[in-house]
Amino acid sequence: MKTHKLLVIAAIVCLLVGTLGGAAMAEGCGDGVLKDEVFNNGLRITGDQPCVIIGCTIQGDIRAIDLPYVLLLNNKVSGIILVRDGGVANVIANTVLGDKIVVRDNDTAYVLENDAVTGDIRVNFNTKAVVQKNIAAQDIRCRENTDLNALLNLAGGNNTCN
């Protein structure tokens, strides 16, 4: 009887670990456009193809790395939005409920009308950056952008953009 109980307990633990630990971040941008989709474990996009993400709900992070063009428009994200090492980065009208928005090391960055509900917004090391009408509960930071156009950003903490 004890052996049977131990086997049942071991099976339940294995199922729980497999269910909780097996959730991987979604990869890729499909045919280049993701619209009105739900991603329960985050989204990671890399590569040399443009990517447009509109109206999606992401439980976790969006990580767009090394893309020639990315548009993140009107998404709800519970983690981080990270766009780095790319060409043109458009981060427009997104709501980040969990952490922050980071846009860095891109040729051109447009960070417009986003809301970092509990976190901050960081726009750093871009060749050209337009940072306008964003709201952050904490800081909005713009550092080391070669050409910066910042206007009407509202931060609960420090604002180095305006």
Q: Collect all residues with Cβ–Cβ distance below 8 Å to 11 and sequence separation of at least 6.
A: none
pLDDT-based confidence at residue 3 (cuts at 50, 70, 90): very low
pLDDT-based confidence at residue 23 (cuts at 50, 70, 90): low
CA separation (Å) from 45 to 27, 89, 128, 145? 6, 13, 22, 24
Structure tokens at 35: 């619209």
pTM of the model: 0.85
